[in-house]
Structure 1
Amino acid sequence: MSRVPDTGAELPSLRDALRSSGFTLDGVADVLGDRASRALNREQPVPAELVTRGSDDPVAVLVRLFGLGCPVETAQVDRALPGWGADRLAALGVVERVGDAVRTLFDLRPYGDGEHEWWVLSDLAEGVTRRPLPVDHVLGIGGASMTLASWTARRPVDRALDLGTGCGVQSLHLSAHASSVVATDVSERALATTRFNAALNGVDWDVRAGSMLDPVADETFDLVVSNPPFVITPRTDAMPTYEYRDGGQVGHAVVEGLVRTVGGHLRPGGVAQLLGNWEVPSGGDWRDVVRSWIGGTGLDAWIVQRDVQDPAEYAELWAGDGGHRSGTEGFEQMYAGWLADFDSRGVGEVGFGVITLQRPRDAREPWVDLVDATTGPVASPMGPTVLAGLEARTWLAEHGDRGVLGTAWRCAPDVTEERHGRPGADDPSVILVRQGGGLGRSVRADTVLAAYLSVADGSLTAGQALDAIASLVEASPDAVRAQALPQIRELVADGLLVR
């Protein structure tokens, strides 16, 4: 691969030229249209190539050059990017000459979060190069990085850490709400790419080399985010060890180790959010696996499982991720290696999810919430839900059942109720309470909970409402409270009931 271009004072002018040419998120979407945009997000370039073929539109030219990896005539590049053009891009080391044309050496694209827009350089994907990725490949904006960005709690903080920064995507997001950002990675190529992207976007980060938490020994942060090398990889010579995904350990040890140690780098009230895989033994429960990591850390833990795969599905996914396909050299050996590795540890399935950890501000018993959310979509972005969920779960831990009963809760605006019953029946046999946003929770309500939710409008405390319901159903107030309290706490934690 080509050497990552050096940073320099001229890079902000490249960013300005890209923006002036219309090479923005909106500009690219307008040129490609919905179908080609969706296909390109799936790393299928054909529709985008057809849409932009033969076009002199500056955005179409830049999409072909930087997004599709097509050779583009020098004159077209000069017209599309005034002030920069082919000569200056080649001198920078972003493109190379191919006769009367130039071809990009890197992926370069606009990226944003709805409020901010950046430009991100990374290595060319396998779909462009048409060959397996080199082991020091620097990944661009992928599904995992977008998931972490979506789930990150965005509130103003003093110090933030992007652990395993890659091309610096998470640091770009952090720069919008953190006073200072430290970005670390074990890959020198990744660090060079991160420095380039910081300079390109006019931001200043403290970029450090080192494995996991080693570069920040004895330092603490308000927010730690990490898309770590969580992919479970067999430790065999036949298996490529990609720097961006392989932490060099057995099983899920990388993620487990980070969960066990990151608390030492969190300030009181500080939050760590990371992605991870976990191995679940045949017949076992994923909650038992991740719960064992948390014990003794003193941290609050909210872990949401978003996907589950069997070992064969996992092997197919990650062999393909590196550009290896069925029928290509080494694929069957890699596939067999993954299956043998999982079998050696009795793994029945592999879970994937988002881990959110919080150091309590004051001395109290930490709370733990392990949620299976593999059955449907969740809100996007999830960051606001995470912030609200942390606040709600912390409030519950600090105030207990007395606080719950003494609070006048109300149903959140996105909560709806469904009633199902047999034709002609007087009463419903099933009552479902659904959440429109957040985790998209669906809760089956019994008679007492349904009655409580029908009056949860902020006018009565939960204790007052439950006592009135107890009188209506001719039951003991203590029994009704004992029955409803765990359900109300769950609805408060997940945002179906709010203050």
Structure 2
Amino acid sequence: MTAVPDRAQPRPDERLALALAADLDACDFRSDPLRRLWGAEADDALARGLREPILRALALRDDPLPTLGRLFVLGMPQPLAAVERALQRLGVDGLTALGLARIDGAKVVPLAVIRPQSFVDADGVGEWWVASDLDEVALGRALPADHVLGVGGASRTLAEILVPITVDRALDLGTGCGIQALLVSRRAGTVVATDVSERALAYAAFNAQLNGVRNIEFRHGSMFEPVAGEAFDLVVSNPPFVITPRASGVPNYEYRDGGLVGDALVERFVREVPAHLAPGGIAQLLGNWESRAEGASRTIDASAGAASGLNRVATWVADDLDAWVVEREELSPLAYAELWIRDGGMLPRDPGFVTLLTAWLDDFAERGVTAVGFGYILLRRPTATDAAPLRRFEHVAQPVSGVGRALRDGLAAHDLLASGIPSVLHVAADVTEARHHLPGEDDPSVIELRQGGGFARTVPVDPALAAFVGACDGELTVSQIAAALAELFDVPLPELWADLEPRIRTLMLDGILVPAS
């Protein structure tokens, strides 16, 4: 008997895609209505791979929204008659023509999932419909190697850190299902989206049609080959950065494995992207990088707790580029290996788990890997070639928010500081001060500035810097405040300023002090 396929490749067709969009819109197939339909607890359970709470909430309902919820969100076959009622413009024939489903008797069997993805950016709140391959829950088995992933945690992280700027030309390298290209298209004249996977490009092109986006051009190829000789104002990438052993028997997934040894793919991106940045152009990507035993004693800034993995990233960056690299977490080789073996659908009790774990640990041991960092990299080609480039390599573990705006404002502060500290400064609206006193003491033992948004930094300051920041209300100039503090603390002004000036610069880069408008 011939096996009935449960996978297909989308066949983009703008007319049919817009008809499907009209049907999804007509039944309010969006995040909030679906969450209200089956309840917040069931919705959260789905993120953990549990469908049963949603099925219990929907019971036997066959009206359009529950039908499309089971078909597209859960990836479950639905009665043909119910799907026909839900898709009155597209019809089941249109759905199959798009390659998103097949007919099996009186059932419509999904070949892809379509899920609403809400977003918030500088232009407001919106939502996309994003199609991707059936996941493990729908397939009932481990993912195939050419699986096209939907919007996962890494995709959301990259979306949250993108610098909110308007550009003429943008590049989404390794577009996958196309979510970053969709987001960037809102602030770009033209977006070029590339991928080594023809299957991923088919999904990305369909998703653009489904959401009525027409300013994205799709190109097939590896890394920067499809854009040879071209420059862009913005380059974004969620590349296949997962460090995977190149050993026989270890599965390689196109959406996460770049086919190179260790962190070489991220290194290659960092070294090659400068050739594709226009003056003022910015590149942003997610990545993993290895800390290795032979470099463990070298750090960029020991006082900031910089890891040797960050030190290795620093050596990849061209001397004439601005660089801001943020490490969000660091895992041991064992924890890292277990994370990605589980991501492929294998549990410790499954046959082969120990074999894969051994392959990963042997691979790390061969290079002397002591830890693997995860975070994001921002590179910029400065417009002023005579200014000292920005160099920030830091570990930030605390919860963050509005990172894209914080990065944008930090770059702007760096540019402004090239001409010196502005004459008038303000304390940012989200900054508070905390003072800690020992019992019975009048003077604080610790003074901290705390940032409410962005990188949510907590910065210890001494009384002089705390007094300077407290006086930055727009009434006095920086020089007037410094002179008053020199008199108050009975310190020569040049000596006081030599101590304060570099720390004021850092507070501006951090967004704690901002120039007067």
Determine if the alignment matches structure 1 residue 483 to structure 2 residue 499: yes
User: In structure 2, the residue corresponding to 1:208 is in which secondary structure?
Assistant: strand
Determine if the alignment matches structure 1 residue 383 to structure 2 residue 404: yes
Q: Which runs of 5+ in 2 are unaligned?
A: 1-5, 298-306
Q: 1:321-336 residue pairs with structure 2 within 5 A?
A: 321-336=343-358
Determine if the alignment matches structure 1 residue 241 to structure 2 residue 252: yes
Aligned to 1:20: 26
Determine if the alignment matches structure 1 residue 292 to structure 2 residue 305: no
Separation in structure 2 between the aligned mates of residue 255 and residue 306 of structure 1, nearest angstrom: 16
Report the AA paired with residue 330 of structure 1.
Answer: G
Of 252, 271, 275, the match for 2:286: 275
Determine if the alignment matches structure 1 residue 395 to structure 2 residue 400: no
Q: Which runs of 5+ in 1 are unaligned?
A: none
Report the AA paired with residue 52 of structure 2.
Answer: V
Q: 1:77-476 residue pairs with structure 2 within 5 A?
A: 77-114=83-120, 115-204=125-214, 205-282=216-293, 283-284=296-297, 285=307, 286-296=309-319, 298-364=320-386, 365-374=388-397, 376-379=398-401, 381-396=402-417, 398-399=418-419, 403-404=420-421, 406-476=422-492
Report the AA paired with residue 385 of structure 1.
Answer: A
Aligned to 1:32: 38
Deviation at 1:63, TM superposition (A): 1.4
Deviation at 1:293, TM superposition (A): 1.1
Determine if the alignment matches structure 1 residue 5 to structure 2 residue 10: yes
Note the alpha carbon deviations across 1:404-440, whole angstroms, 9 max, x for none: 1x42111101000111111221111111110000000
User: In structure 2, the residue corresponding to 1:10 is in which secondary structure?
Assistant: helix
Note the alpha carbon deviations across 1:272-320, whole angstroms, 9 max, x for none: 0000000012445233111111143x11001111111111111111111
The structure 1 segments of at least 4 consecutive aligned residues displaced by more than 4 Å after TM superposition are none
CA contact (8 A) 2:310 2:327 kept: no
Separation in structure 2 between the aligned mates of residue 5 and residue 185 of structure 1, nearest angstrom: 15
Separation in structure 1 between the aligned mates of residue 142 and residue 185 of structure 2, nearest angstrom: 33
TM-score normalised to the size of structure 1? 0.95
Of 55, 60, 72, the match for 1:54: 60
Report the AA paired with residue 413 of structure 2.
Answer: A
CA contact (8 A) 2:173 2:236 kept: yes
Deviation at 1:489, TM superposition (A): 1.2
Report the AA paired with residue 312 of structure 2.
Answer: V
Separation in structure 1 between the aligned mates of residue 219 and residue 477 of structure 2, nearest angstrom: 52
Separation in structure 1 between the aligned mates of residue 17 and residue 191 of structure 2, nearest angstrom: 20
CA contact (8 A) 1:22 1:58 kept: no
Separation in structure 2 between the aligned mates of residue 407 and residue 245 of structure 1, nearest angstrom: 48
Report the AA paired with residue 25 of structure 2.
Answer: R
Deviation at 1:148, TM superposition (A): 0.5
Aligned to 2:302: none
Aligned residues: 491
Report the AA paired with residue 110 of structure 1.
Answer: P
Identity of aligned residues (%): 47
Aligned to 2:512: 496
Larger mean Cα displacement after TM superposition, 165-174 or 83-92: 83-92
User: In structure 1, the residue corresponding to 2:222 is in which secondary structure?
Assistant: coil
Deviation at 1:180, TM superposition (A): 0.5
Separation in structure 1 between the aligned mates of residue 170 and residue 326 of structure 2, nearest angstrom: 22
CA contact (8 A) 1:49 1:68 kept: no
Separation in structure 2 between the aligned mates of residue 287 and residue 214 of structure 1, nearest angstrom: 27
Separation in structure 1 between the aligned mates of residue 403 and residue 68 of structure 2, nearest angstrom: 32
User: In structure 1, the residue corresponding to 2:434 is in which secondary structure?
Assistant: strand
Larger mean Cα displacement after TM superposition, 273-282 or 28-37: 28-37
Report the AA paired with residue 140 of structure 1.
Answer: G
Deviation at 1:153, TM superposition (A): 1.2
Report the AA paired with residue 102 of structure 1.
Answer: V
Report the AA paired with residue 31 of structure 1.
Answer: L
User: In structure 1, the residue corresponding to 2:29 is in which secondary structure?
Assistant: coil
Note the alpha carbon deviations across 1:30-80, whole angstroms, 9 max, x for none: 213322222323443333232223223422221111111222222222223
CA contact (8 A) 2:22 2:89 kept: no
- The structure-2 alpha-carbon separation of the partners of 1:331 and 1:278, relative to structure 1 and needing over 3 Å to count, comes to same
TM-score normalised to the size of structure 2? 0.92
Separation in structure 1 between the aligned mates of residue 501 and residue 283 of structure 2, nearest angstrom: 30
Separation in structure 2 between the aligned mates of residue 483 and residue 46 of structure 1, nearest angstrom: 62
CA contact (8 A) 1:122 1:193 kept: yes
CA contact (8 A) 1:21 1:81 kept: no
Larger mean Cα displacement after TM superposition, 187-196 or 221-230: 187-196
Aligned to 2:73: 67
Report the AA paired with residue 64 of structure 2.
Answer: P
CA contact (8 A) 1:154 1:384 kept: yes
User: In structure 1, the residue corresponding to 2:39 is in which secondary structure?
Assistant: helix
Separation in structure 1 between the aligned mates of residue 318 and residue 184 of structure 2, nearest angstrom: 29
Larger mean Cα displacement after TM superposition, 15-24 or 195-204: 195-204
Note the alpha carbon deviations across 1:195-230, whole angstroms, 9 max, x for none: 211222222321111110111011000000000111
Separation in structure 2 between the aligned mates of residue 45 and residue 458 of structure 1, nearest angstrom: 56
